[in-house]
């Protein structure tokens, strides 16, 4: 019951539109479902590092460090601006200049530089820890693994959405509009992150 409740809450959190989910959908449109789904491993690798940090007891220290969160925040802002501008200026096709850097690496970098993702493992996940259930590090590891499963499910949903758009056979003009929309949203997310409190 405990893990089922946590899984349900995690799916809702993971499904929230954000930079990684937008990127997953974008990769589904431009690279197809297989490559886009493989790219999700980059996101999961970044989140796995955050789970490991939480289990090791580093999560609360990082969350409490304004300097660490500020550095992560501005690196994340810079990378989202970079991606947004690249998509706007050059397009996001598999063969275009914006394709430099693998989708897997882009997923990893967007996830690892997102302070909100760090807070998932330092604020959201610990709410489900109960010392009466056993060793806290083991609970954090278990909850982290469950959250990764929820993130994989949510990420796959966005990839499927992108692959569905790809299968619809959009015209070049429609794809260009989609790219412009993606670039604008990425820049908007960078703005939200830049103006948010750390």
pLDDT digits (tens, 9 = 90+) for 77-113: 888 898 888 888 876 554 443 445 689 999 999 999 8
Q: In sequence order, what are the residues at sequence separation of 6 or more whose Cβ sits closer than 8 angstroms to the Cβ of residue 95?
A: none
Q: What would the pLDDT profile of 103-117 be if each residue is shown by its tens digit?
A: 999 999 999 988 778
pTM listed for this prediction: 0.80
| pLDDT number for residue 174 | 80
Q: Please check the confidence at residue 151 and state whether its pLDDT lies above 90.
A: yes
| pLDDT number for residue 137 | 87
Question: Given the structure tokens 């992150």, which residue do they identify?
Answer: 193
Distance CA 104, CA 54 (A): 23
Instruction: Among 46-55, 62-71, 93-102, 132-141, name the one with the lowest average pLDDT.
Output: 93-102
Half-sphere exposure of 48 (CA within 13 A, CB side): 9
Distance CA 24, CA 33 (A): 9
| pLDDT number for residue 95 | 40
> Cα 48–21–23 angle (5° rounding)?
100
Number of domains observed in the structure of the chain: 1
Q: What would the pLDDT profile of 126-137 be if each residue is shown by its tens digit?
A: 888 888 888 888
Residue 114, token pair as written in the block: 């997102």
| pLDDT number for residue 7 | 95
The separation between CA 181 and the C-alpha centre of its own chain, rounded to angstroms, equals: 18
- Quote the domain boundaries for residue 168: 2-195
| pLDDT number for residue 65 | 66
């Amino acid at each position: 019951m405990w893990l089922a409740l946590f899984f349900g809450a995690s799916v809702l959190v993971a499904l929230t539109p954000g930079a990684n989910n937008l990127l997953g959908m974008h990769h589904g449109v431009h690279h197809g479902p297989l490559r886009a789904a493989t790219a999700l491993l980059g996101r999961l690798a970044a989140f796995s590092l955050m789970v490991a940090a939480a289990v090791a007891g580093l999560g609360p220290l990082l969350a409490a460090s304004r300097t660490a969160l500020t550095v992560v925040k501005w690196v994340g802002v810079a990378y989202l601006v970079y991606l947004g501008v690249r998509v706007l200026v050059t397009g996001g096709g598999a063969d275009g200049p914006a394709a430099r850097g693998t989708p897997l690496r882009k997923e990893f970098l967007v996830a690892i530089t997102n302070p909100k993702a760090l807070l998932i493992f330092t604020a959201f996940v610990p709410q489900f820890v109960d010392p009466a259930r056993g060793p806290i590090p083991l609970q954090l590891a278990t909850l982290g693994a469950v959250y990764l499963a929820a993130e994989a499910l949510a990420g796959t949903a966005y990839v499927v959405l992108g692959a569905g758009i790809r299968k619809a056979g959009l015209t070049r003009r429609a794809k260009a509009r989609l790219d412009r929309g993606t670039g604008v949203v990425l820049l908007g997310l960078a703005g939200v992150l830049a103006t948010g409190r750390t």
